[in-house]
Amino acid sequence: MTTRVLVTGGAGFIGANFVLRTLVTRPDVQLRVLDKLTYAANPETLSAVADRVELVQGDIADAELVDRLVADTDLVVHFAAESHNDNSLADPSAFVQTNLVGTYTLLEAVRRHRVRFHHISTDEVYGDLELDDPARFTEQTPYNPSSPYSSTKAGSDLLVRAWVRSFDIAATISNCSNNYGPYQHIEKFIPRQITNVLSGIRPKLYGDGRNVRDWIHVDDHNDAVWTIIDHGTIGETYLIGADGEVDNRTVVETILELLGRPADAFDFVTDRPGHDRRYAIDSTRLRDELGWRPNYLDFRAGLSATIDWYRGHTDWWQPGKAAVEAGYAATQQITG
Ligand code: NAD
Ligand code: TDX
């Protein structure tokens, strides 16, 4: 039987990878994307599959549209969000509207039509860890978000939990660490630095460059999402991570080396206000209870493949490059 899946945010980085991968791995699934096509979306990403995926341009906070689409689906996979911390510090309003009001709007439709819901969230809801702390985040870690972005994601998670408990909706939640891979917007750290080097611009490291992120390939994230949809317990939260802790300076040095540049050909710039020091995920629950395992175990090899992708897809990213760098230059000074 065909499963009708509504993918919110399916023209963005992780959502589009989810759509493209699902078309290959799940021939029984019929996909429809609801996406506002904000600056973060690139409709080009889905152009090659336009005959197989319906793209509805619209806002997840549009109650009438959302009700109509949810009434006609079996499962909602909710990726849509304002997703960039730096933007949330410059102007939080769209983050409150989309991440909180948008998620609320979806939950009300799911409640009315009794549709299965999977909510995509982030490890940033747990705040940060010290560099030398042996602890990692687990499903029991208390919420302690730092930025307007992460606090609105935390709020959206809590809305989902409340709708499960109060209204008995069939929902699961996943909180994943930092994703990398093809089709990621060039405002984000890894694609920004790759496309900087490819454009003859020196990579830019915030603060002292020692902040740690726990990298996971986007395909491993999306495989975990399907594992949770298929086998997860309703009402539960699962952390997704691939033991990929690397500090930012090492990431930049590796990109420079893979592109044949000197490892010190980067600049330090003004730090991000409230910059989280370290994220680290303990994904034992997902592995032990649901049997998920990551396939990308070699970060350097995954990064190298990602560099190749950006090198081979200049048409996809080059038109927006100058504007992204001009935006950063307006707020960030070189410090070293
Ligand atoms: P992205 O910014 O690349 O894509 C977001 C998509 O949502 C875009 O296509 C955008 O047009 C769409 N969108 C934004 N507002 C909308 C609205 N009001 N209505 C409909 N569509 C709207 O983000 P991403 O990196 O792909 O992240 C996807 C999800 O995964 C987010 O919920 C994010 O919090 C979560 N997440 C991301 C990461 C990461 O490393 N990128 C890690 C963990 C969790
Ligand atoms: O130019 C840069 N230089 C730099 O040093 C940029 C853009 C970032 N950084 C640093 C800040 C972070 O320590 O790199 C790290 C990663 O930055 P981002 O790509 O902005 O990601 P982060 O803030 O960690 O959040 C990401 O992972 C969790 C996603 O954007 C979120 O949507 C997700 O929830």
The ligand that comes nearest to the alpha carbon of residue 8 is 1
Query: Of the ligands numbered here, which is closest to the C-alpha atom of 268?
Result: 2
Please indicate, yes or no, whether the overall pTM of this predicted structure exceeds 0.75. Answer: yes
CB 13 within 8 A of CB 179: yes
Domains of the chain: residue spans and CATH: 3-180+217-240 (3.40.50.720)
Cα 130 to ligand 1 centre (Å): 27
Distances (CA, A) of 97 to 82, 115, 149, 223: 9, 23, 11, 29
Q: Measured in angstroms, how far is the CA atom of residue 331 from the centroid of ligand 2? A: 16
The answer to whether the CB of 152 is under 6 A from ligand 1 is no
User: Rounded to an integer, what distance in angstroms lies between the CA atom of residue 104 and that of residue 110?
Assistant: 10
Q: Both tokens of residue 162?
A: 């409340």
- Catalytic, 124? Answer yes
Ligand 1: residue whose CA is nearest its atom 37: 122
Contact between 296 and 240 under an 8 Å Cβ cutoff? The reply is no
CA distances to 108, 305, 322, 325 from 319, rounded to whole Å, are 38, 22, 8, 12
Note whether 54 and 34 are within 8 A (CB).
no
- Write the secondary structure of the chain as one string of H (helix), E (strand) and C (coil): CCEEEEEECCCCHHHHHHHHHHHHHCCCEEEEEEECCCCCCCCHHHHCCCCCCEEEECCCCCHHHHHHHHHCCCEEEECCCCCCHHHHHHCCHHHHHHHHHHHHHHHHHHHHHCCEEEEEEEHHHHCCECCCCCCCECCCCCCCCCCHHHHHHHHHHHHHHHHHHHHCCCEEEEEECCEECCCCCCCCHHHHHHHHHHCCCCCEEECCCCCEEECEEHHHHHHHHHHHHHHCCCCCEEEECCCCEEEHHHHHHHHHHHCCCCCCCCEEECCCCCCCCECCECCHHHHHHHCCCCCCCCHHHHHHHHHHHHHHCHHHHHHHHHHHHHHHHHHCCECC
Spatial distance between the Cα atoms of 125 and 145, rounded to a whole number of angstroms: 5
The pLDDT value given to residue 2: 84
Q: Which atom of ligand 2 is nearest to the CA of 81?
A: 32
C-beta separation of 284 from 250 below 8 A: no
Using CA atoms, how far residue 330 sits from 41, 91, 111, 118, in Å, is 23, 15, 44, 38
Which residue among 35, 59, 82, 123 is the active-site one?
123
The answer to whether the Cα torsion of 242, 87, 17, 193 is positive or negative is negative
Q: Decide: 83 in ligand 1 pocket, CB within 6 A.
A: yes
Give the number of other CB atoms < 10 A from CB of residue 272. 16
**pLDDT of amino acid 43:** 86
| pLDDT tens, per residue, the chain with 336 residues | 789 999 999 999 999 999 999 999 999 999 999 999 999 999 899 999 999 999 999 999 999 999 999 999 999 999 999 999 999 999 999 999 999 999 999 999 999 999 999 999 999 999 999 999 999 999 999 999 999 999 999 999 999 999 999 999 999 999 999 999 999 999 999 999 999 999 999 999 999 999 999 999 999 999 999 999 999 999 999 999 999 999 999 999 999 999 999 999 999 999 999 999 999 999 999 999 999 999 999 999 999 999 999 999 999 999 999 999 999 999 999 998
Ligand 2: residues with CB < 6 A are 83-85, 122, 124, 178, 188-189, 192, 204-206, 211, 213, 248, 272
CA of 135 to the centre of ligand 1 (A): 28
Ligand nearest to the CA of 271: 2
β-pair partners for 35: 57
